[in-house]
Amino acid sequence: MVEVDQLLRSRVGHHSARLFLAALVGGEHRVAFSSAAQLRRAAEIDARFADLGLGLADTSVMALAERHSHPILTFDFEHFRAAPPRDGYWRLVIDEARFARAIGER
């Protein structure tokens, strides 16, 4: 949730971050905590893609999403594209191409 808050504030805006926080407080989202096994998997992902410098936040999200087949909310498309899971690709909440068009990037 800290990562999502930071990403929303830096990429979308403070209002969106506050809406996310209100949704958390209102019970619309559930906070997941990493188990020892998930932390080991995060470390494996980090080692496998060491050249990317992913870090604990991204690899923990990857391990959790992989374990529970959850979609991922991220604006870090480059890292999630470059470090795919064992079985194909990450399901992202935000479509990278649509986001790029919305903010005027190519």
By residue range, what is the domain housing residue 42? 32-106
Are residues 55 and 77 both part of a single domain? yes
pLDDT at 90 over 60: yes
Tell me, what's the pLDDT at 105? 62
Q: Please check whether residues 49 and 73 belong to one and the same domain.
A: yes
Distance of alpha carbon 39 from alpha carbon 83, whole angstroms:
17
Residue 85's pLDDT is 92
Q: What is the domain count for the chain?
A: 2
Q: Does residue 25 register a pLDDT over 90?
A: yes
pLDDT tens track for 74-87: 888 899 999 999 88
Cβ atoms 58, 78 nearer than 8 A: no
Paired with 92 in beta bridges are: 72
Residue type, 6: Q
Model confidence, pTM: 0.76
- Structure-block tokens of residue 51: 């050249």
Mean predicted lDDT score pLDDT of the chain = 89
Same domain, 85 and 55: yes
| pLDDT over 90, % of the chain | 58
